[in-house]
Amino acid sequence: EVLLVESGGGLVQPGGSLRLSCKASRFTFPSYDMSWVRQAPGKRPEFISSILALVGTTNYIDSVKGRFTISRDNGANTLYLQMNSLRPEDTAVYYCAARNCMGPGCYLGYKFWGQGTQVTVSS
């Protein structure tokens, strides 16, 4: 069913930038709400940003607002996260996740996740 594949992570210095991508397939991507979630070692997963299916409304937690930008290209079935002014505390595995609230699958919530991509911010 839903397949999500993240890419674009890597090692960057503090203050640097990365652009993450999430390629979606095997489902109707434009109909799904999408989000980015990250998990640092020993920590619980942390929701950081979302973008809704039709109107494209975005949401960010305060710690990334003004530094990160979520976007989507429905024609390319791809979700993006532009990350600027990176800090060591941004180090984590970053996942994309999907939910469908335009059909009977809404009750599942954000049940569909990718495999994650590692982001390390260090000198």
pLDDT at 122: 97
| Alpha carbons 109 and 21: distance in angstroms, whole number | 21
Across the chain, mean pLDDT equals 96
Model confidence at 3: pLDDT above 90: yes
Q: What pLDDT shows up at residue 103? A: 83
Q: Are 110 and 1 in contact, with CB atoms under 8 Å apart?
A: no
Q: Is the pLDDT of residue 44 over 90?
A: yes
**pLDDT band, very low/low/confident/very high, at 105 (cuts 50, 70, 90):** confident
Distances (CA, A) of 41 to 52, 107, 119: 28, 29, 12
The predicted pLDDT at position 1 comes to 80
Cα 18 to its chain centre, rounded Å, is 13
Region 57-63 average pLDDT: 97
Please give the average per-residue pLDDT across 54-76, as a whole number: 96
Cβ burial, residue 40 (10 Å; 0-12/13-18/19+): middle
Residues 66-96 have pLDDT tens digits of 999 999 999 999 999 999 999 999 999 999 9
Q: For residue 20, what pLDDT is reported?
A: 98
Across 11-32, average pLDDT: 96
104 burial via Cβ count (<10 Å: 0-12, 13-18, 19+) = exposed
